Amino acid sequence: MKKDGKEGHAQKFNSLISKIAKGEKGAFEEFYGIFGKFIVLAAKTVTGEKEFLDEAVDDVLVKIWNAAPSMPHIKNPFGWLYTVAVNCAKDRRKSGRIYEDIGDIAVEDGGIAAVENSDSFTRLLSGLDDDERQIILMHICEDLSFKDIARALARPLSSVTSVYYRSLSKIRNCFK
């Protein structure tokens, strides 16, 4: 998704949710194509384990599918998705439910498979709190500017940049 700020992301998110609610063919796949990587990364910061990760992502997608018909307009889709993904991952981890694999799904260009296999990335993020992880993911994975992140999170720009650089410092300390 191109960098077009909070309004563009929110507009696309809400448009796709509306299409999903109406049962339009391909809407859910398009939604996942745009927001899926972010959901996976957010959930992985909590689970760290493939079995829990897959189930947590499934839980998020089921919640979105079921909530679409009655979902209100979301002004901050990345914040909302991050919260839902982290909560689903925490619930999944607490429950300890692990389901048997039903087969591997081929993903083109590495996509989600590459993210799931990035254990070093997950280890680095595990040392950060939820707020720090969210800002890092929004900036690095979604390529949002600090200004866009500040608007999306309704926080001062200086606060967002401070959290980001403090988080990078924590990550650098992992290498020492």
Q: How far apart are CA 6 and CA 73, in angstroms?
A: 13
Q: Which of 116, 61, 114 is nearest to 85 (CA)?
A: 61
Range of the domain at 10: 5-98+106-173
Domain count, the chain: 1
Per-residue pLDDT of the chain (176 residues; tens, 9 = 90+): 444 555 678 899 999 999 999 988 899 999 999 999 999 988 888 887 676 788 888 889 988 988 899 989 988 899 899 999 988 888 877 765 433 322 233 333 444 444 445 666 677 777 888 888 888 888 877 777 888 888 888 888 888 888 888 888 887 777 66
pTM: 0.56
Q: Which of 50, 55, 80 is nearest to 67 (CA)?
A: 80
